[in-house]
A and B are shown apart, each in its own frame.
Chain A
Amino acid sequence: DSGVTQTPKHLITATGQRVTLRCSPRSGDLSVYWYQQSLDQGLQFLIQYYNGEERAKGNILERFSAQQFPDLHSELNLSSLELGDSALYFCASSLGGQPLDEQFFGPGTRLTVL
């Protein structure tokens, strides 16, 4: 158990809908990262937050947005969902936001878009 929690574990929805994925980092960690794992694209970085501020952005679509709240939990919002958005979405957290800070991964949220 990494100490990172993600909810829900599974999510099934229809095309065009909007969903929110939630992540609670390990106690004391200030940085949160979101990754997407799909069969087509593999495992890729979406976005990083550090202490409430966006720190780095990767291959995140404009239909997707994220935020980190004052209590440091984070939410990833996916809108106008398409079939290709079906994937496993991981959240990771680290103590700081530096490259050498180990990232601890949550168990993921499996999103299925029908």
Chain B
Amino acid sequence: GEDVEQSLFLSVREGDSSVINCTYTDSSSTYLYWYKQEPGAGLQLLTYIFSNMDMKQDQRLTVLLNKKDKHLSLRIADTQTGDSAIYFCAEIRGTASKLTFGTGTRLQVTL
């Protein structure tokens, strides 16, 4: 994940919005993803966005992509304790299928 960076930790209060940020360096990224990893579990795909899109909304999740700045963000509205997990952004470059993951952001939701 050396080319995809995320802040390590985010703490929010239940009911607030969370914004998790990701920066990437490769302009050939074609698809960008957000995965969630709960303790003891594998990775779960939350949402994805094509590189030719600016925004995608999926229920409580909003993904924003700033291709010029190579910046991706995930906003979780009305954050719940069940959202506590590690969130990874990931990219696919060109026509390859391998995912390049970010460093992961641990989201802690407090009451």
Using a CB–CB cutoff of 8 Å, the interface residues on chain A facing chain B are 2, 4, 31, 33, 35, 41-45, 48, 55-56, 58, 90, 92, 94, 97-108
Contact = CB atoms under 8 A, between A and B. Distances in A.
Contacts of B31: 99-100
Contact of B101 (A43, A56, A104, A108): A43
A45 B100 contact: yes
Interface stretch (B14-22, B36-44, B67-75): B36-44
A68 to B, nearest CB: 14
A48 B1 contact: no
A105 B43 contact: yes
Contact of B41 (A35, A94, A107): A107
Interface residues of B, number: 21
B55 interface: no
Main secondary structure on B side of the interface with A: loop
Interface string B36-74: 000011111100000000000000000000000000000
Contacts of B107: none
Nearest to A31: B97
A100 B98 CA distance: 11
Contact of B97 (A4, A97, A108): A97
B96 A42 contact: no
B1 A42 contact: yes
A11 to B, nearest CB: 15
B23 to A, nearest CB: 15
B43 A42 contact: no
Contacts of A97: 97
Q: What are the 7 closest A-B residue pairs judged by CB atoms, nearest first?
A: A105-B42, A42-B1, A43-B101, A45-B98, A105-B43, A99-B92, A107-B42
